[in-house]
Each structure stands twice: as C-alpha cells, then as structure tokens.
C-alpha cells in the first residue's frame, strides 16, 4: 500500500473513531476507538495499529482537551495497536481476550498520570477505586468487537484487495 493510501486510511479511521468517541462520551470509558485500533493492528499489522493508536489519541486529545493524561493515553493506545499486530485474526477467543485485556492495559497506563498528583503509595488505592471504569471499557470493547468485527473485516479486506497490503 502506498503512503497516500495509508495516510488516507489512517485519516478515515481516526475520524470514525473520534466521532464514535464523542457520540458515546456520556457513557464512561465506552469508546469504539479501542476496537478500531485493535482490528487495524490485527488486519494491517503492528506498525499500522501503533500508528493509528498514536494518531487517534493525539487528535482526540486536541478535540476533547489535552492534559497531563494525554501522553499516557497516546502511549497506551499506541501499545494496544502494536500488540494487536500479534493477535491472529482467525482466533476469535484470543481477539476477545485481548479486547478485554487491552481495556485494562489502557486504563492502567492512562492512570499513571495520577503519579504527578499522588504519591506512589496511594496510586494503587486510587487506581483500584476506579477499576470499574476499565471494566466499562472492557464491556464496551466486547460489544463493539461483536458488532464491528464482521463489518470492519469486510471493509479492510476490500481495501487490501484494491490497494495492496499495508
């Protein structure tokens, strides 16, 4: 896939993820962006997944507000996209397991920004007090994965057929 097509795909997926994130912002930590990043990594590889995670987190931060947490969100979604490149597409159980784990990975890394305000001794207490938000993220991931996988796999396969691999 040439660079222009890759940039176009990243732009379109970023827009879809951010619109989904904004549309569902009233539901705590339920965001389709994570599944879009995961499926991109699974289909197009770890480099494309990591790039999309980085771009979505950065552009989303520009729209929803940048704070001390933003670099941690960028790192978290970039890591989720990268690791997703190792998840086999044809193993649904692994895909579902990773979608659940990725919510907690994202939540933990994002929560590290609290260390600027609280001592390390209080971090785990504060993190555990909000762990249910990561559970909301995991439940949302399962729902989005169930709904979006067949649709996005079909779109991604069509894109790969027309444009080549990433």
Q: What is the pLDDT of residue 1?
A: 67
Q: What is the pLDDT of residue 165?
A: 61
Q: What is the pLDDT of residue 155?
A: 87
**pLDDT tens, 48-98?**
999 999 999 999 989 988 989 999 999 999 999 999 999 998 888 999 999
- Structural domains of the chain ordered from first start: 3-160 (1.10.1760.20)
Per-residue exposure over 149-162, b if at least 16 CB sit within 10 Å of its own CB, e if not: beebeebbeebeee
**Per-residue confidence at 25, pLDDT binned at 50, 70, 90?**
confident
Distance, in Å, from the CA atom of 78 to the CA atom of 48, rounded to the nearest integer, reads 10
Q: Whole-model pTM?
A: 0.91
pLDDT of 131 strictly over 70: yes
Q: What is the pLDDT of residue 54?
A: 97
Contact 46, 81 (CB under 8 A): yes
Chain centroid to CA 70: 14
Q: What is the pLDDT of residue 55?
A: 95
Average pLDDT in the 131-154 region?
Answer: 92
pLDDT of 166 strictly over 60: no
């Amino acid at each position: 896939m040439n660079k222009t097509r890759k940039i176009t795909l990243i732009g379109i997926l970023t827009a879809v993820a951010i619109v989904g994130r904004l549309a569902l912002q009233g539901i705590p930590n339920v965001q389709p962006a994570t599944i879009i990043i995961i499926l991109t990594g699974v289909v197009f590889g770890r480099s494309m997944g990591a790039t999309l995670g980085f771009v979505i987190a950065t552009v989303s931060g520009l729209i929803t507000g940048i704070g001390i947490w933003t670099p941690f969100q960028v790192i978290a979604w970039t890591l989720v996209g990268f690791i997703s490149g190792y998840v086999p597409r044809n193993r649904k159980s692994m895909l579902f397991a990773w979608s659940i784990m990725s919510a907690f990975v994202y939540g933990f890394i994002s929560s590290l920004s609290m260390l600027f305000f609280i001592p390390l001794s209080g971090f785990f207490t504060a993190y555990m007090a909000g762990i249910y938000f990561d559970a909301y993220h995991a439940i949302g991931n399962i729902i989005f994965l169930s709904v979006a996988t067949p649709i996005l796999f079909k779109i991604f396969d069509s894109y790969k057929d027309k444009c080549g691999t990433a």
